[in-house]
Amino acid sequence: MVSIQFLTLEVDDPAAAQPLYTALGLDEHVRLRPSTEPTSGFRGWTLSLVAAQPANVNALVDAAVDAGATVLKPPTKSLWGYGGALRAPDGTIVTLASSSKKDAGPPARTIDEVVLQLGVTDVAATKDFYVEQGLEVGKSFGRKYVEFAMSGPVALSLTKRGALAKVAGVDPEGTGSHRLVVASDGGAFTDPDGITWETA
């Protein structure tokens, strides 16, 4: 089973960007390296943090804002649970969510799962591409959404680009570099939407 070991985010200034990812508890999941590759608008992916309860989502959002993040969508209840979205100073979009709508304990800045969500042009074609690279499908909902069965610290999902942008509270248009490299034990390749994978 393929595992994502970590994500490398390409940022203008790694030292300036690091405090936010430390505040979110992502030091082992995210690495930073300098890049001045042009990028604008939505980059076609989000980093999704799943927490046990709404209080934890709020604690993480507060920590991120204190570290310089901008709120794109304030955390609110919805049909599926509770969540919101942030933009890091380096441009990365982070969504935070809990499937629970009620708190079961005091707030904690802890995350239960880290998911790289890719907003792709064609979910079915991209799913087939990743299966050819050795990834196993965990859940699939036709041409709308796919979750892969991953053994590492970062999970992977696919959805339509416009749908992911809507969840993040941003316009789906964007150009230039994704500013993302996925480090895994599955080999080096570039997916149909231009997301680069390299060997960890």
pLDDT category at 54 given cuts 50, 70, 90 is: very high
Residue 134, CA atoms < 13 Å, CB-side half-sphere = 12
- Predicted confidence at residue 80, as pLDDT, reads 86
Domain containing 130 equals: 4-199
Between CA 37 and CA 39 the distance in angstroms is 6
pLDDT category at 142 given cuts 50, 70, 90 is: confident
- Predicted confidence at residue 123, as pLDDT, reads 97
Between CA 117 and CA 161 the distance in angstroms is 10
Count of domains for the chain: 1
168 pLDDT exceeds 90? Answer: yes
Between CA 72 and CA 168 the distance in angstroms is 7
CATH of the domain at 150: 3.10.180.10
Q: What is the mean pLDDT of residues 97-125?
A: 96
Between CA 111 and CA 51 the distance in angstroms is 5
What does each C-alpha distance from 81 to 50, 156, 195 come to in angstroms? Answer: 11, 20, 29
Share of the chain above pLDDT 70, in %: 100
Q: How far is Cα of residue 17 from the mean position of the Cα atoms in its chain?
A: 16
Whole-structure pTM value = 0.95
Between CA 170 and CA 46 the distance in angstroms is 11
Dihedral (CA of 115, 12, 42, 169) sign:
positive
